[in-house]
Amino acid sequence: MVLTRLIPLWIAIVSGVAILVSAFIRPMESWGENFTDTFNVIAAIASVLGAGSLLKANLAKVSRRDAGWGFALVVLGTFLITLVVGLGKIGVHPSHDFPQADFGGKQESADTPFGWIYEFAMVPLTSTMFALLAFYVASAAFRAFRAKNLEASLLLGTAFVILLGRTFAGVVLTGWLPDWASGLRLENLSVYVMQVFNTAGNRAIIIGIALGVAATSLRILLGVDRSWLGGGER
Partner 1 sequence: MSLLARLQSLDRRWIFLLMAIAVAGPILWSGLTGKTPPEQPTDAARRVLKVIDDLPEGSRVLFAFDYDPASAGELQPMATSLMRQCAARKLRIVCIALWPLGGNMAQETIAHVIRADFPSLREGVDFVNLGFQAGNEGVMKVVLTDFTKAFPKDTRGQAAADLPILQGVRTVRDFPLLVNVSAGYPGSKEWVQYVVSASEGSVKMIAGCTGVQTPQMYPYYPGQLAGLLGAIKGAAEYENLLNGVMGGDPAPKYLEAQRRMAPQLFGHLLLVGLIVVGNLIQFMGRRGTRA
Partner 2 sequence: MNRQRLTWIVIGVVFAGLLVVRGMTGQGLGRVYVQHEDVAYAKVETKSAQGAPTVAWKRVAEGGVADVRWQEWSAVPPKAWFEAQAKDPRQSAITLSWPRTIGLWLAAFFTLAIFSFLWADNVFYKFAEATVVGVSAAYWMVIGFWDTLVPKLFAALVPAVVQAHVQPSLRPVDDVQWWSMALALVLGGMMLWRLAPRGGWIGAWPLAFIVGVTAGLKIVSHVESDLMAQGLATMESVVAVVPGADGATDVGASVWGTLANLLVVVGVLSALTYFLFSVEHKGLVGGTARVGVWYLMITFGAAFGFTVMGRIALLAARFEFLFDDWLWLIDPNHLRA
What are the C-alpha distances in Å from 222 to residues 6, 28, 118, 214, 218? 13, 20, 45, 12, 6
Select the residue interacting with partner 2 from 25, 90, 126, 168 (CB under 8 A): 126
Q: What's the min distance (Å) between Cβ of 231 and partner 2?
A: 11
Helix axes 29-63, 69-87, angle to 10 degrees: 140
CA gap 141, 135 in Å, rounded:
10
Select the residue interacting with partner 2 from 28, 59, 62, 158 (CB under 8 A): 158
Q: Binding residues for partner 1, per CB under 8 A?
A: 19, 23, 29-30, 32-33, 36-37, 39-41, 43-44, 47, 95-98, 101, 104, 106, 108, 118, 122-123, 126-127, 129-131, 134-135, 137-139, 141-147, 156, 159-160, 163-164, 166-169, 171, 187, 191, 194-195, 198-199, 202-203, 206
Q: Does 188 bind partner 2 (CB under 8 A)?
A: no
CA gap 163, 190 in Å, rounded:
9
112 and 92 in contact (C-beta within 8 Å)?
A: yes
221 and 13 in contact (C-beta within 8 Å)?
A: yes
Task: Please enumerate, as own/partner, the contacts of 200-203 that have beta carbons within 8 Å and a separation of 24 or more.
Answer: none
93 binds, among partner 1, partner 2, none (CB under 5 to 8 A by kind): partner 2
CA gap 232, 215 in Å, rounded:
18
Residue with Cβ nearer partner 2 (63 or 202)? 202
Residue with Cβ nearer partner 1 (32 or 61)? 32
Q: Does 186 bind partner 2 (CB under 8 A)?
A: no
Q: Does 201 bind partner 2 (CB under 8 A)?
A: yes
Q: What's the min distance (Å) between Cβ of 103 and partner 1?
A: 10
Binding mask 103-122 for partner 2 (x = CB under 8 A): xx--x-xxx--x-xxxxxxx
CA gap 30, 18 in Å, rounded:
10
Task: Please enumerate, as own/partner, the contacts of 108-115 that have beta carbons within 8 Å and a separation of 24 or more.
Answer: 112/85, 113/85, 114/82, 114/85, 114/86, 114/89, 114/90
Binding mask 18-37 for partner 2 (x = CB under 8 A): xxx--x------x-x-xxxx
Residue with Cβ nearer partner 1 (4 or 199)? 199
Q: What's the min distance (Å) between Cβ of 64 and partner 2?
A: 17
Count of residues interacting with partner 2 (CB under 8 A): 139
Q: What's the min distance (Å) between Cβ of 65 and partner 1?
A: 33
Q: Does 199 bind partner 2 (CB under 8 A)?
A: yes
Task: Please enumerate, as own/partner, the contacts of 20-27 that have beta carbons within 8 Å and a separation of 24 or more.
Answer: 20/221
CA gap 157, 154 in Å, rounded:
5
